[in-house]
Amino acid sequence: MKFDRVRKEEADTVLKLYRSLLGTPYCVWTEDYPTEKEVEFDFSRDALFCMRDDDGNIIGVISIDDDPNVECLTCWSKTMVPSAEVSRVGVYQEFQNQGIARKLLVGVMEELKNRGYQAVHFLVAKDNVKALRSYDKLNFESVGECELWGHMYWCYEKAL
């Protein structure tokens, strides 16, 4: 497996992965999110990454987001700046439970560190047991909770 940037011509593959996860346990995504709009936004900021299998196929994705609703939360550290939000972590179902989400996070944290960020933060739906277990293994700190978009989330943060 290899951590890599998603290429522009792979936008449909990313959307297909997002759609494949709708309605699966713990997934709060809907037909309205994430969409082509989010994928284009990520491409415009060089912020979309993936894990590839040995044949080069995308098996999981992650993005560096820039959402004002998340950035304005008061739980984020005031000393670990600049910080960046990670979002839209998704792994094809047949590849889940193999540590790929953790590898995506490790890869994107290295990318953020190279870009000069001091910390990373993200939201996890409170009932997403799989993600919560995964992120605990990476020693993220739970720094608060919030309600956004009709869901309750834990707020996680980690220094880079």
Q: Which of the four pLDDT bands, split at 50, 70 and 90, describes residue 158?
A: very high
Per-position DSSP letters for the chain, written without gaps between them:
-EEEEPPGGGHHHHHHHHHHHTTSTT---BTTBS-HHHHHHHHHTT-EEEEE-TTS-EEEEEEEE--HHHHT-TTS-SSS-SEEEEEEEEE-GGGTTSSHHHHHHHHHHHHHHHTT-SEEEEEEETT-HHHHHHHHTTTPEEEEEEEETTEEEEEEEEE-
CA separation, residue 133 to residues 7, 99, 130, 138 (Å): 30, 11, 5, 9
Domain ranges of the chain: 2-159
Q: Which of the four pLDDT bands, split at 50, 70 and 90, describes residue 50?
A: very high
Average pLDDT, stretch 115-142? 88
- What are the residues whose beta carbons fall under 8 Å from the beta carbon of 19, sequence distance 6 or more? none
What are the backbone dihedrals phi and psi of residue 78, each rounded to the nearest 5 degrees, phi first? Answer: -90, -10
pTM equals 0.92
2-159 folds as Aminopeptidase (3.40.630)
Measure the CA–CA gap between 160 and 129, rounded to whole angstroms. 24
* Per-residue confidence (pLDDT) for residue 10, from 0 to 100: 98
60 has pLDDT over 90:
yes
Handedness of CA 140, 48, 6, 92 (dihedral sign): positive
Regarding predicted confidence, which is higher, 46 or 125?
A: 46
